[in-house]
């Protein structure tokens, strides 16, 4: 157990060093993963070796974006339809209350109220699949965040799994379409230490950015600070508003369970 923790610490440290080096070098890398539009990044957003980006998703071309077909429950158990975020940039992040990344991530996100006031949305999904670092039930998670980070402007969601057979369909969709978590030279080592698959969420506080139109834009590893994403978020906020939503086709419905997701594929 001590060896595994030491290797995890080493992997995160090496990944962080790679991120710092890349910030100074400012060079795009072949490790960036592009889907459907190789070499293309979201408008105004630079390529970066510690980011996986996606310009288009299957099924695009004027129709409803797949992201908007998913639903999830908030921390109080109420259904939240992703379609309600149409026209807003969104960050989806898996969170935990007892992680080494907790304080820095919650502090950064708590400082994003001005961005939220401009239309940005943070969807924070508690998860305890990484070292059991979110052992609290939903009601206690809510109280903990309210007491510890009272200015947190995001939307707390219900506790879920993000990997494995019980993974929430929204995270399955995000992982399938923005693969290879950190896109870091040390991601294979991190994957080996955590025992997760190469496309799985590797640890707490992985982050996904979605633009105003429901396009998946980028995936960021745990060590990527939310504040480092502010330039990208501002560029997404500067995008023109999307066109009116298309008419829902007969038979279409939000995807809420793995069985429904498989049937809808």
Q: What is the CATH number of the domain that holds 194?
A: 3.40.30.10
User: Is residue 173 domain-resident?
Assistant: yes
The mean of the pLDDT values for the chain is 77
Whether residue 262 is contained in a domain is answered as no
Q: Report yes or no on 261 lying in a domain.
A: no
Domain assignment of residue 79, yes or no:
yes
Q: Is the per-residue pLDDT at 51 higher than 80?
A: no
Please check whether residue 249 lies inside any domain of the structure. Answer: no
The pTM of the full predicted model, rounded to 2 decimals, is 0.73
pLDDT tens figures, 148-192: 999 999 999 999 999 999 999 999 999 999 876 444 555 556 666
Q: pLDDT for 23-36, tens place per residue?
A: 332 222 222 333 33
Domain contains 257: no
Structural domains counted in the chain:
1
The per-residue pLDDT for 243 is: 76
Residue 248 is assigned to a structural domain of this protein = no
With 0-12 / 13-18 / 19 or more C-beta atoms within 10 angstroms meaning exposed / middle / buried, residue 73 is middle
Q: Which domain holds residue 153?
A: 2-243
pLDDT at 249: 59
Distances (CA, A) of 142 to 89, 107, 137, 235: 24, 16, 9, 31
191 Cβ partners below 8 Å, 6+ apart? 181, 197, 198, 200, 202
Residue 99 falls in the annotated catalytic set: yes
Rg (CA), the chain: 18
| Catalytic position from the list 51, 82, 99, 157 | 99
> Does some domain include residue 65?
yes
């Amino acid at each position: 157990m001590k060896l595994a923790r030491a290797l995890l610490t080493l992997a995160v440290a090496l990944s962080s060093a790679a991120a710092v080096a890349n910030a100074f070098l400012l060079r795009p890398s072949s490790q960036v993963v592009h889907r459907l539009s190789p070499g293309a990044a979201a408008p105004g957003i630079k390529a970066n070796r510690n980011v996986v980006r996606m310009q288009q998703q299957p099924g695009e071309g004027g129709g409803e974006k797949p992201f908007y077909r998913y639903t999830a429950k908030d921390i109080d158990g109420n259904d939240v339809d992703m379609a309600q975020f149409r026209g807003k940039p969104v960050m989806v992040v898996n969170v935990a209350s007892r992680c080494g990344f907790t304080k820095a991530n919650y502090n950064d996100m708590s400082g994003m109220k001005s961005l939220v006031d401009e239309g940005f949305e943070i969807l924070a999904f508690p998860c305890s699949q990484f070292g059991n670092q979110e052992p609290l039930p939903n009601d206690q998670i809510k109280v903990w965040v309210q007491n510890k980070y009272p200015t947190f402007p995001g939307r707390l969601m219900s506790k879920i799994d993000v990997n494995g057979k019980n993974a929430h369909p929204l995270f399955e969709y995000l992982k399938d379409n923005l693969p290879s978590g950190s896109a870091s030279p040390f991601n294979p080592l991190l994957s080996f230490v955590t025992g997760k698959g190469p496309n799985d969420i590797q640890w707490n506080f992985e982050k996904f950015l979605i633009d105003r139109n429901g396009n998946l834009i980028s995936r960021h590893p745990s060590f990527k600070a939310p504040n480092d994403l502010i330039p990208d978020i501002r560029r997404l906020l500067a995008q023109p508003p999307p066109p009116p939503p298309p008419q829902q086709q007969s038979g279409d419905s939000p995807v809420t369970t793995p069985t429904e997701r498989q049937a809808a594929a």
